[in-house]
Structure 1
């Protein structure tokens, strides 16, 4: 009887000790593989959501800039500046052939090419985008670049030489527009993310 009990009880010993048998190994591999497959399946979905955020931010920034410029051209251009906060902030419509804040008016075509290049680079980078903060930052850059590029393409004096409409005039500072603001905010956010070690693909690195 003792011999029979020993033979019958032997298979239960590995399970009691937690070593597991072949069935447990197969079961463990199946669970692990399922988790990995789930992560791989979810990654494209997360990437698509971040791309949607990027383009949503870009569209909002672009439409705000475009609509503000249309109002300024229709109501404020060739008129006296409007004081918002006394001498500290005014709305004063001007045409700027240079870059942001009136820099480099002799290089309008070059700045147009740079803006177009920025848009292409952002569109290519979006394919590997898995970070929400990066999606917002790139969306601001894209919307701002598109806003000023629209002016350079369609406004006078000619194709790719158009002057950008600026109207926000703080005291003792250059006149700018909402597209410039979006570009600056996006750039500042990118600098912050870079210092924190967050990459566009969502990974975090430390130098």
Structure 2
């Protein structure tokens, strides 16, 4: 009961941000702004990811992690309203937050596999390098995706859903992706213990089945 009560503020905050994202989505539709509407829809869908993982896969995330994921996509959706263009540091914040989520996914999966089999041993120093490398690899993939999304939009004369501002912007984005990965490597691994346990349990159940 006490744990449930402690989680209530996080749940209320998640619900409030979900309503905020819906408002952004509606604003994008009414303004016929494709990028705002699509990113709002994407952000809203991501907020239900922890529930889907828990219900369908038995992977439980702590209320704090659920709040962190929701905050990242909420800030991204808000940024599409003009903050990305009008506030120079806003993109750095959202990239760092998003990178912590990617790093967390990489760490939780790798650590669960490490616990699953004795043939795989991942020392702490290697895990730190893995977290940074995994996050940067995803960051590069995302930048390439933004680049081709912009080319495709220009080719058909449509508004780009994902925006890529050039090589300098890409380098800076990857720099802040690294910051997010380093933060998880240094301070976030204990926070992810519940997620690691859930993933490990899911692997064991799959093996037994």
Tell me if TM exceeds 0.5: no
More strand by share: 1
Larger radius of gyration: 1
More helix by share: 2
Please give the TM-score of this superposition, normalised by the length of structure 2: 0.27
